[in-house]
Amino acid sequence: MSGRPVVNSVDFARLTATLKGEVPVAELTRLHDMLAQRSGSLSYVLSGSIGADGRPHLLLKLSGRLSLTCHRCLEALEQRLDSQREFVLVMPGEPETDVADEAETVEHVPADRQLDVVGLIEEETLLQLPISAMHAEGSCRLAGSTGSGGDRSSPFVALAALKSKPRN
């Protein structure tokens, strides 16, 4: 996977640099088990800045669509991804700060001289996805149902019927 963008996070923030691009979903290998299809890409914008607190910050904006596997019917489920996360860079040896007052969209991360941008995108994408992806109630076909959504009898009913048949 050569050619992956790598930045010095502190220098990137101090220079107020911006990096834009697209990452093919197929490159996000940690997502593969959750996906119905590996096609498409995610768009990203990574921007650096110095915050009001005087510390280096990164802002990551992600957008795109993923084809997840529904855990109820095992069919494809389209998931829209549109997120924004701010990262406050923590320098080595810097004392920990109280993050209880921070917004949910702010995260403290260690400063990194070789920050793998695709790795950051992959991590943020994983955090944005539902734990158990499912279609809305009643809108997916359950495995083993007739498709009308009305037949939800237990598979043990069929087993009981087989057991009650007289043997020859």
Give per-residue pLDDT as tens, 51-67: 998 999 999 999 999 99
Contacts of residue 10, defined as CB under 8 A and 6 or more positions apart, other chains included, come to 56, 89, 91, 111, 113
Residue 17 counted as domain residue: yes
Q: What is the pLDDT of residue 41?
A: 95
C-beta separation of 58 from 86 below 8 A: yes
Domain count for the chain, please give it.
1
Residue 121 counted as domain residue: yes
Tell the residue number behind the tokens 């020859």, with chain if given.
168
Residue 110 counted as domain residue: yes
Q: What is the pLDDT of residue 120?
A: 95
Q: What is the pLDDT of residue 5?
A: 93
How many whole angstroms from its chain centre is CA 9? 22
- Strands 106-110 and 76-90, bridge-based pairing: parallel
Closest CA to 47 of 36, 62, 31: 62
Q: What is the pLDDT of residue 96?
A: 64
Q: What is the pLDDT of residue 89?
A: 93
Residue 1 counted as domain residue: no
Low-confidence residues of the chain, pLDDT below 70? 1-2, 96-104, 141-154, 167-168
Q: What is the pLDDT of residue 73?
A: 87
Residue 93 counted as domain residue: yes
Closest CA to 84 of 127, 53, 118, 52: 127
C-beta separation of 59 from 47 below 8 A: yes
Residue 147: give the domain boundaries: 6-164
Query: For the whole prediction, is pTM greater than 0.85?
Result: no
Tell the residue number behind the tokens 């921070």, with chain if given.
102
Residue 52 counted as domain residue: yes
Closest CA to 15 of 50, 45, 43: 50
